[in-house]
Homo-oligomer: A and B are copies of this chain.
Amino acid sequence: MTIDELDTPCLLIDLDRLESNIATWQARVTAAGSTLRPHIKTHKSPLIARRQMEAGAVGITAAKLSEAEVFVDAGITDVFVAYPIMGPLKWRHAAALAQRCRLIVGVDSVVGARGLSAAAVAAGSRILVRVEIEAGLGRSGVTAERAAALCDEVGRLPGLELEGIFAYRSTFFPGAAQLSAAQAAADEGRMLVAIAEALRAAGHPITSVSAGSTPTALGAAAVPGVTEVRPGTYVFGDAMMATLGALRHDDIALSILCTVVSRPATDRATIDGGSKTFGGDIPPAMVGLPGYACAMRGDAWLERMSEEHGVVRLGPGTDPAPGARLAFAPIHVCTTVNLSDVLVGVRGDVVAQCFPVAARGKRE
């Protein structure tokens, strides 16, 4: 089967690039003296997680318990849910999942720690805990000042075992100028290491110091004392990561194949993918890009979307007829993948493998 036989819109994975990204990033993180625990929210596919594990990943990171469970069902045995687990249903869910894998979860409050402990005791489980450190996003995590008290609490609670600390620091801070990735990585890594050392001095068993997303992972991995980084997007790359310099445009492994359905003007084409296909959670202006997706070949940017229509601005020399097919790299690949049921792996124009997006929509 070739690409021409695929209906559109359709998500394509360039397998050569996928394999190169997985191998290259694993080697870089290892060379920097850290370990790699990739965030699987980018691909949501156990088949790709398996490739990451085979390349040397120590386990996976997931955002939610239901997302993690899909990977445990598929045989992954070391899972970090990097999210505050909150509420009786989720505490029970975590306690059950911890009987099927080495489960580490995030905690950022006393109420969260106590609820988790009670559920673990009730189920006869042991849950590993990392305390989340607030790193500037203002969404979750505790300050350095409050970390010690929360570690004290976790240490006292039955059924829980304090394993480490973690943070997530975006290069995009709300209401602030964009940091360079190198600066954000160094800041995040050094802050976490300093907090870990203070906690250890107070007697807490901080084994893991976990930092870093794709823009910051390699910088954070190089900070002495950072034990683990959690990039996700590096497997596929996207237009945002390319503009940040985290990958090259030629490393981008995922593209969206679309059909031109209308030509409203000589410099515009309308394609059969809009926000229902591409997503659109990142405004292009926020990352200094001219659109929501860029053509893999030729000069064309997806400037405007409604749900099923995408309006593409065509550069000179790009003049697709109605019915022509164009492939685009999205601005933010994680959101795009979550809208799709399957990723189609290709070598050149030949369809080689399908990856079900098995954890799509799992947000509980």
Chain A positions within 8 Å of B, measured between CB atoms, are 5, 7-10, 41, 63-64, 66, 83-84, 86-87, 89-90, 93, 108-109, 111-112, 115, 134, 137-141, 170, 174, 259-265, 268, 270, 272-273, 275-277, 279-281, 283, 304-309, 311, 321-323, 325, 334-335, 338-341, 360-361, 363-364
Number of copies: 2
Which residues of B lie under 8 Å from residue A272 when comparing CB positions? 64, 83, 86, 363
A135 CA to B64 CA in the complex, in Å? 43
A321 CA to B340 CA in the complex, in Å? 35
Name which residue of chain B comes closest to A306, CB basis: B139
Residue of B86, B174, B323, B339 near A115 (CB, 8 A) is B323
A71 CA to B323 CA in the complex, in Å? 26
Which residues of B lie under 8 Å from residue A9 when comparing CB positions? 363-364
- Decide if B83 touches A308 in the complex (CB within 8 Å): yes
A254–chain B nearest beta-carbon distance, Å:
16
A284–chain B nearest beta-carbon distance, Å:
11
- Decide if A139 touches B264 in the complex (CB within 8 Å): yes
- Decide if B86 touches A275 in the complex (CB within 8 Å): no
A62–chain B nearest beta-carbon distance, Å:
10
- Decide if A41 touches B323 in the complex (CB within 8 Å): no
Which residues of B lie under 8 Å from residue A334 when comparing CB positions? 307
- Decide if A307 touches B335 in the complex (CB within 8 Å): yes
Q: Given A111-B321, A139-B270, 8 other A-B contacts at CB below 8 A?
A: A8-B364, A9-B363, A86-B272, A138-B311, A140-B261, A275-B281, A275-B335, A339-B339
Q: Which of A115, A265, A360 has the most CB of B within 10 A?
A: A360
Which residues of B lie under 8 Å from residue A280 when comparing CB positions? 280-281
- Decide if B112 touches A322 in the complex (CB within 8 Å): yes
Would you list 24 pairs from A and B whose C-beta atoms are within 8 A, ordered by A residue?
Answer: A7-B90, A9-B364, A83-B261, A86-B260, A86-B261, A86-B262, A86-B322, A87-B259, A87-B325, A108-B262, A111-B323, A115-B323, A138-B265, A138-B268, A139-B262, A139-B309, A272-B363, A275-B281, A275-B335, A276-B338, A276-B361, A277-B363, A308-B363, A339-B339
Which residues of B lie under 8 Å from residue A304 when comparing CB positions? 139, 174
Q: Which of A108, A134, A263, A264 has the most CB of B within 10 A?
A: A264
Which residues of B lie under 8 Å from residue A115 when comparing CB positions? 323
Which applies to chain A's interface (DSSP): helix, strand, loop or mixed?
loop
- Decide if B262 touches A140 in the complex (CB within 8 Å): yes
Which residues of B lie under 8 Å from residue A262 when comparing CB positions? 84, 86, 108-109, 139-141
Q: Which of A10, A273, A281 has the most CB of B within 10 A?
A: A281
Name which residue of chain B comes closest to A305, CB basis: B281
A9 CA to B364 CA in the complex, in Å? 6
Which residues of B lie under 8 Å from residue A111 when comparing CB positions? 321-323
- Decide if B8 touches A140 in the complex (CB within 8 Å): no
Which residues of B lie under 8 Å from residue A363 when comparing CB positions? 9, 272-273, 276-277, 308
- Decide if A307 touches B281 in the complex (CB within 8 Å): yes
Q: Name the 7 nearest CB pairs between A and B, nearest first.
A: A275-B281, A140-B262, A86-B261, A7-B364, A63-B308, A84-B261, A139-B309
Known contacts being A86-B272, A273-B363, is A264 close to B322, with CB within 8 Å? no
Which residues of B lie under 8 Å from residue A307 when comparing CB positions? 41, 63, 281, 334-335, 338
Q: Which of A8, A270, A276, A364 has the most CB of B within 10 A?
A: A276
Which residues of B lie under 8 Å from residue A268 when comparing CB positions? 138
Which residues of B lie under 8 Å from residue A84 when comparing CB positions? 261-262, 270, 322
